[in-house]
Structure 1
Amino acid sequence: MADFPLQGDSKVKTSKALSWLLRHGAAKEGLELLPGGWAKLDDVLKKPKFKRVTVQDIEEVVISCPKQRFGLKEEDGVYYIKANQGHSIQVEDPELTEITLEDRVLEVVHGTYYRHWPSIKEQGLSRMNRTHIHFAPGLPGDSAVISGMRTSCQLYIWINLPKALEDGYKFYKSANNVILCPGNEEGFLPPKYFAKVTDKRTGENRL
Structure 2
Amino acid sequence: MSQPRKGGRGGGRGGGGQSREVQISKALSLLLRHAAEKEGLKMNTQGYANVADVLAWRKLKSLKVTFPEILDAVATSDKKRFALLHIPSAEQADSKGQATTTPSKVTDREDEGANDTEQSTTVLSAPPVTQAAQENATQRALSVATSKEDTDPSHFLIRATQGHSIKSVDPASFLERLTLSDEPQAQPSVPATTPSTSLPDTVVHGTYHAAWPLILASGGLKCMGRTHVHFATGPSLESVLAQNKGRGDTEGDGKGIEGLDNGTVISGMRRDAQVLIYINIKKALAAGCPFWRSENGVILSEGMAITGKEGAEEKEKVVPLEFFDVVVERKAGLGVLWEHGKVVQELPQDLAGRRNPKGRRVPPDGEKGRGRSK
**TM-score calculated relative to the size of structure 2:** 0.52
Gap change, CA 1:172 and 1:6, over 3 Å in 2: farther
Aligned with 1:86 (options 163, 172, 191): 163
The letter of the residue matching 2:157 is Y
Separation (CA, whole Å) in 2 of partners of 1:63 and 1:106: 28
Percent identity, aligned pairs only, is: 42
SS of the equivalent of 1:206 reads: strand
| Paired position in structure 2 for 1:206 | 337
CA shift at 1:35, angstroms?
A: 3.0
1:165 and 1:83 mapped to 2: Cα distance? 26
Task: Give 2:78's aligned residue.
Answer: 66
1:2 Cα deviation from its structure 2 partner: 2.4
Distance 1:173 1:115 in 2: 28
Write out per-residue CA displacement over residues 73-130 of structure 1, whole angstroms, 9 at most, x where no aligned residue: 2111501110000011121344000011122321100001111111112321111100
- Separation (CA, whole Å) in 2 of partners of 1:4 and 1:136: 39
Work out whether residues 280 and 323 of structure 2, in 8 Å CA contact, stay in contact via their aligned partners in 1.
yes
CA contact (8 A) 2:291 2:299 kept: yes
Is 1:20 the counterpart of 2:138? The answer is no
The alignment partner of 2:180 has SS state of coil
Runs of 4 or more, structure 1, over 4 Å off, are 3-6, 142-145
Task: State the distance in 2 between where 1:149 and 1:100 align.
Answer: 22
Instruction: List gaps (5 residues or longer) in structure 1.
Output: none
What's the CA shift string for 1:114-149, capped at 9, x where partnerless? 111111123211111000000001126179964100
> Structure 2 unaligned runs (5+)?
14-18, 89-149, 183-198, 236-257, 306-315, 339-374
Greater relative CO (CA pairs within 8 A, separation 6+):
1
Q: Secondary structure at the match of 1:157?
A: strand
Relative to structure 1, is the Cα distance of residues 97 and 145 closer, same or farther in structure 2, using a 3 angstrom cutoff?
Answer: farther
* Among candidates 239, 253, 259, match of residue 141 of structure 1: 259
Distance 1:197 1:150, change over 3 A: same
- The aligned counterpart of 1:196 is 326
Query: How far apart, CA to CA, are the structure 1 residues paired with 2:234 and 2:20?
Result: 31
Q: How does 1:100-139 map to 2 (within 5 A)?
A: 100-103=179-182, 104-122=199-217, 123-139=219-235
Counterpart secondary structure, 1:36: coil
Aligned-CA RMSD value: 2.1
Deviations 1:176-201 (A, max 9, x none): 00000001231311111100001113
Name the counterpart of 2:6. Answer: 2
